Chains A and B, each alone.
Chain A
Amino acid sequence: MNNNSIKTVGIMAQFSNPGELMKAAEKLRDSGYSKFDCHSPFPIHGMDKAMGLSSSSLGWVVGLAAIIGTTGALGLQWWTSTIDYPLVISGKPLFSFQAYVPITFAVGVLLSGVAALIGMLALNGLPRWNHPVFNSDKFEKVTDDAFFISIEAEDPKFHTDETIQFFESIGGTNCELLQENQ
């Protein structure tokens, strides 16, 4: 045992209601913190703005997947039915784009959907096994009626004592260090 050192990976504080949480997030944003997260039992409108989050780049991922899906599906149908194995079906031209539209559309939607799911997980840093916030007993109430903000130690502005002081100055209670065995 023994070589186990304990490392601080962040600080968490509790807030009394969604309004306080929103105000605290705005203050954190304004004082330059960037790697922090707000925890609440329900979604709060306007929170992404209060946290200073830029709009997600997921749209570009999905857009790219949609283009690949539609062109790929159309290309495959074109190639199979005009070059690889040409067949005249009910007297229609070999390249009858009308018949290809449903499949093109469906593959485009399918690929977009899959890209949206995988992209969302990747952008959220998921899947991961655990996060130190779950070590806190108080944090269990976050799915019920408690509101928290956690700041990661990776944040350039992070400094254990100062951050705790800052949390207290903006109304945070029950400040806790988030720690992890190394």
Chain B
Amino acid sequence: MKFDSQTYRLTDKGRFGSITLIVGIIGLILSCVGWFTDSQQFYFSYLTAFVFWLTIALGGLFFVLLHHLVGAKWSIVIRRFGESIMMVIPLMAILFIPLLFGLHELYLWMNSEVVASDHLLQGKSGYLNLNFFVVRAVLYFVIWTVLAFLLNKYSLQQNQNPSPEQIKKFRIISAPGMILFAVTLTFASFDWLMSLDAHWFSTIFGVYIFSGSFLSLLCVVTLVVIRLQSNGVLKEAITKEHYHDLGKLMFAFIIFWGYMAFSQYFLIWYGNIPEETIWFLHRWEGSWKSVSMLIVYGHFVIPFFVLFPQVTKRNKAVMTVMSIWILVMHWVDIYWLVMPTLHHHGYHLSWIDLATFIGIGGLFLHLFWRIFTAHPLVPVGDPNLEQSIKIVS
């Protein structure tokens, strides 16, 4: 990898792009084999992997929206990371298509005989029906894609000829964009994850997914920055202060995730209504119990104490380990949301889980890398870039 520190461009992009593409294609081919061997397992594994990567892409969109909305300065040097990650959303829209063929296997409420004999599902059929489901999914992806494209377009324009116009546009897009983001993410998580168990409902569910989403985005950005810097890229632009800021946000979102997860659990535990508690009961059955405990400790307690002191947030080795750890935990979290619907009595890892994960992930990272390296790695036209580089947290 070669880096030109004058133009902030990579002159030699290294092999990351081709490696991820090959891994991605192999993963998708294996996933196809998986579909032929066990289509139901395939759809559930695919949904897990899809949601895992989608939440990271949406985290990128949120990062950019928030950045413009509050006029953040520290994050200007890492803004292109967020922008490149959110530009993967159109790919996720294409990768959503295979799920449409498995709706009957994934969602019980898609089957008319089941609905006919189920009073609760009949009551919900105004919202939970095939046509509306597809219309909503299209709407989500259109909104996310349009937001991402516009924000990215003006960002590239700013590189060419910076003017206050772009900053104005960033803000005009971001304010309603943030509201749209909140609504679409909430309903998307209701549609794709919560309706797996269509009797169950939790209004906090969308915020729960969002907290994990932004958290995992921070981990991905941290890992990419560390990897780039170990190859001598952006060594002067991104300093310990930026790691510290990333670490602080990560710590904050660990707590935020814990707060949401506990709030969801707490109210259901307190109310003790069977149709609500059943969801947790499923996740307390057999070996799911250990997965639940793993999430409590692995997704909250351990990262909380590790990221608590200042020194760990400024230490690259600790941040690397923590980022990978939290990403693994985020996957476990999504797995724990999806899989109990298929495997009732305990978790059952399948090779298709891995195949779909690396299949979608390979393409995701490949596209991210292509978009990211096609332009200067930092927004060179931003009037506050200098200030962002010199920031002291």
Contact = CB atoms under 8 A, between A and B. Distances in A.
A90 B277 CA distance: 15
Interface stretch (B104-112, B262-270, B292-300): B262-270
A5 interface: no
A83 interface: no
Contacts of B270: 98-99
> Taking chain B's interface residues, is the majority helix, strand, or loop, or is none over half, making it mixed?
helix
B269 A46 contact: no
A128 interface: no
Contacts of B95: none
B349 interface: no
A45 B392 contact: yes
Interface in A65-106: 90-92, 98-99, 101-102
Nearest to A99: B270
Contacts of A92: 272
Interface residues of B, number: 7
B272 A46 contact: no
A99 B266 CA distance: 8
Nearest to A96: B269
Contacts of B392: 45-46, 49
Contact of B262 (A49, A91, A101): A101
Contacts of A49: 392
A90 B272 CA distance: 9
A72 to B, nearest CB: 20
Given A45-B392, A46-B392, A98 B269 contact: yes
A101 B266 contact: yes
Nearest to B272: A90
B272 A98 contact: no
A91 B270 CA distance: 11
Interface string B373-393: 000000000000000000010
A52 to B, nearest CB: 15
Nearest to A102: B266
B26 to A, nearest CB: 45
A89 to B, nearest CB: 10
Interface of B: 262, 265-266, 269-270, 272, 392
The 4 closest A-B pairs by CB, nearest first: A98-B269, A46-B392, A45-B392, A98-B266
7 contacts: A45-B392, A46-B392, A49-B392, A90-B272, A91-B272, A98-B270, A101-B262
Given A49-B392, A102-B266, 12 more contacts: A45-B392, A46-B392, A90-B272, A91-B272, A92-B272, A98-B265, A98-B266, A98-B269, A98-B270, A99-B270, A101-B262, A101-B266
